[in-house]
Amino acid sequence: MLGWGKVRTMRAVKFLFKWFTWAAVCLGVGWGTLAQAQVDSLGRRILAGDRLHVSVREQPDMSRVYAVAGDGSIDFSFAGRIVIAELTAEEAARKLERVLEDTYFKEAHVTISIANFVEGDVLVTGAVRTPGHLPFRGDSILTLMEAIARSGGLTDQAAGDRVRILRWSPGGGMERRTIEVNVQAMLDTMDFSKDQYLRPRDIVAVPVRGEEEGNNEFLALGEVKTPGFHPFSSNLDVIKAVSRVGGLSEFADWESARILRLRSNGEYAVIPLDLSRLFSSADMSMNLPLQRGDIFFVPSVRNLVRAQVFLLGEVVAPGAVSLTPGPNATAARVILAHGGMTPLANSGRVQIQRDAPDGSKKTMVVDVGRILKQGSFEADVPLQDGDVIVVPEKNFLGL
């Protein structure tokens, strides 16, 4: 039995944690906001997805904005690809100077500043009171403790001693590494020296106390109806997993789902899934089996730059249309979703104009009128980025 002193201490810790959560939400002030002024002094590391303004005094035509690729490198003009992720701007500038001095200049002077910071939500899931996405930009500070506080705090069933951060591994591959943090110990001792700074696109998973994580369950993350831990059963595959989590949300990126599978070295291997092929085209090669401890992850289209198609001719709302990946990204569905066609439309001769890989133009003709009238979407045409949909006018015979 716990002594009265221990009970009072635990109650005090819970009160302080709840008070801070309430204050951060109501006042709009979190630990990251309070620490915002310290970003420069902390020496922020360059991340994949950042855009950098690089200035080279000796070669002005090299001075421009460079995008940091997924492998952490920039295409540094004639010097080739140089990996600079995980360095500070000052460290990266010195590295580029050494590259230029080793091969091109006797002396080089490089300065670097962040032109645009990478953006991407942090996903908090599992045994927190309000799991979900936390908007986050790379020029702000968000710690693990703040993310948990902004998610309502740990539930009474949370295994706070084994909270995990899943983070993309450096190098541009599809692996994630895990960082395990004893959040409960920080709350019990009020010592936050082992708190962790989060990054855009991190995933925070809080397991339930009393469950041996990974032994007889799988974890669903992202744009699913019921994220969190779910019972594992034999013969579990992707279709059964989607059904078990209640389906996908309206913001699901159907083409970029993944299975994350823990390796012996503690990192997660990534198995890509195209759920659009599985559920729209019945491509059963995508119906992969799941294993105990797998993470079924469906990213959000809100973190993507969406493809665009263009509606022209006899449509109610002509213009550019953002294309959401998934089974609804087809010609008839897009026309229907954006107001349909005018009474003058020749709905049986709708054209889809597309750039072929060899640079030529390809035109497909679709009877959208019959598709919509009969509901026979099997004949509908999936759209691609840059497609132009042209709905012609009826001729004088009404055809």
Q: What is the CATH number of the domain that holds 235?
A: 3.10.560.10
Q: Are residues 193 and 281 in the same domain?
A: yes
Average pLDDT over residues 72-76: 86
Q: Which of 249, 281, 302 is the last residue of a domain?
A: 302
Quickly state the pLDDT bin for 300 (edges 50, 70, 90). confident
Residue 173 binned pLDDT confidence (cut-offs 50, 70, 90) = low
Average pLDDT, whole number, for the chain? Answer: 80
Domain for residue 7, yes or no?
no
213-224 pLDDT, tens digit per residue, is 445 788 888 888
Q: How far apart are CA 362 and CA 279, in angstroms?
A: 27
Q: Are residues 164 and 280 in the same domain?
A: yes
Give how many domains the chain has, as a whole number: 3
Residue type, 219: L
Based on the domain organization, do 273 and 164 belong to the same domain?
yes
Do 290 and 357 belong to one domain? no
User: Given 257, 282, 302, which residue is the final one in a domain?
Assistant: 302
Domain membership of residue 13 (yes or no) is no
Is 331 contained in some domain?
Answer: yes
* E-state strands within 108-162: 110-116, 122-126, 132-134
Please tell me whether residues 85 and 170 are part of one structural domain.
no
Q: Which of 309, 331, 335, 333 is nearest to 321 (CA)?
A: 309
**127: in domain:** yes
Confidence band, pLDDT 50/70/90 cuts, at residue 210: low
Highest mean pLDDT among 114-118, 287-291, 382-386: 287-291
Give per-residue pLDDT as tens, 2-31. 444 444 444 444 444 444 444 443 333 343
Residue 250 sits in the same domain as residue 339:
no
Query: 296 and 311 in one domain?
Result: no
Contact 222, 176 (CB under 8 A): no
146 lies in the same domain as 92 = no
Whether residues 238 and 350 share a domain: the answer is no
Residue 17 counted as domain residue? no
Residues 288 and 365 in one domain: no
Kindly state the average pLDDT of the residues 167-172.
Answer: 64
pLDDT average, residue stretch 332-359: 88
Tokens 């994350």, residue located = 260
Going by DSSP bridges, is the β-strand pair 267-273/176-181 parallel, antiparallel, or unpaired? antiparallel
Classify residue 338: in a domain, yes or no: yes
Nearest to 117 by CA among 200, 183, 37: 200
Q: State whether 126 and 71 are in the same domain.
A: no
pLDDT of residue 91: 93
Range of the domain at 85: 51-116
Band of pLDDT at residue 398, cut at 50, 70 and 90: low
Least confident of 144-158, 166-180, 258-272: 166-180
Please state whether beta strands 132-134 and 81-83 pair in parallel, antiparallel, or not at all (unpaired): unpaired
Domain boundary (257, 277, 302) is at 302
pLDDT at 39: 41
Q: Per the domain annotation, does 24 fall within a domain?
A: no
Domain annotation covers residue 59:
yes
Residue 143 and residue 199: Cα distance in Å, rounded? 9
Residues 260 and 154 in one domain: yes
Q: How would residue 296 be classed by pLDDT, with cut points 50, 70 and 90? A: very high
* Position with higher pLDDT, 358 vs 67: 67
